[in-house]
A and B are shown apart, each in its own frame.
Chain A
Amino acid sequence: DTAVSQTPKYLVTQMGNDKSIKCEQNLGHDTMYWYKQDSKKFLKIMFSYNNKELIINETVPNRFSPKSPDKAHLNLHINSLELGDSAVYFCASSGTERGFPGELFFGEGSRLTVL
């Protein structure tokens, strides 16, 4: 049973298109995240949701819009894709440990290539 699953695993699309990546976790965690990993492997947080409420929104273009229909799902929609959006996008979730977020559980990533 996959703990954090995201789809699609690979996405190749043209500039200007709109695309979505879906994420689901079956761990019962309250907090979910989207991270972007660039070509140099640097991992940067984009968004964090706690119980469907947005709690972190880093400096991300507003072409990126997260949506959390329930606490087990966090989807990422990207409008008007640009070349610089090419990266691997990771979904993650965490429970709490002594009142603070515990370890992160990551999905396998969605590799987005914008042509």
Chain B
Amino acid sequence: SQQGEEDPQALSIQEGENATMNCSYKTSINNLQWYRQNSGRGLVHLILIRSNEREKHSGRLRVTLDTSKKSSSLLITASRAADTASYFCATGDNYGQNFVFGPGTRLSVLP
């Protein structure tokens, strides 16, 4: 069953602006991860946040997790054209066996 749902489906911003993507999920999770996929390439892991964490930072990335609302957000600050990609959230269940991906947000950063 589909777990994560990203929002918006597509986002277009100017270089230097911040980009925020949201992810909602349905069942209990052990962790939530964000991935980036450039066109024609495999997915690359960006950040993992555990269910007992509320916020995590990595460079220009900031991820929040609200388990009461079953939602997460990914903020990319000071975006660059190279950030143009699709971004996916993936939830890891408490059985530790499966990751379920949402349909992704396509981010376009215009120079």
Contacts and interface: CB of A to CB of B under 8 A. Distances in A.
Interface stretch (B14-22, B37-45, B59-67, B71-79): B37-45
B88 interface: yes
Contacts, number: 59
B109 interface: no
The A interface is mostly helix, strand or loop, or mixed, namely strand
Contacts of B106: 41
Interface of A: 4, 33, 35, 40-45, 48, 55-56, 90, 92, 97, 99-109
Contact of B100 (A4, A40, A45, A99): A45
The B interface is mostly helix, strand or loop, or mixed, namely strand
Contacts of A44: 101
Contacts of A105: 45
Contacts of B48: 97, 102-103
Given A56-B97, A101-B92, A109 B42 contact: yes
Contact of A48 (B41, B88, B97, B101): B97
A100 B30 contact: yes
Interface of B: 30-31, 33, 35, 37, 40-45, 48, 86, 88, 90, 92, 96-101, 103-104, 106
Nearest to B99: A104
B45 A43 contact: no
Contact of A55 (B86, B97, B99, B100): B97
Nearest to B46: A103
A103 B98 contact: no
A56 B31 CA distance: 18
B86 A41 contact: yes
Contacts of B104: 41-43
Contacts of A107: 42
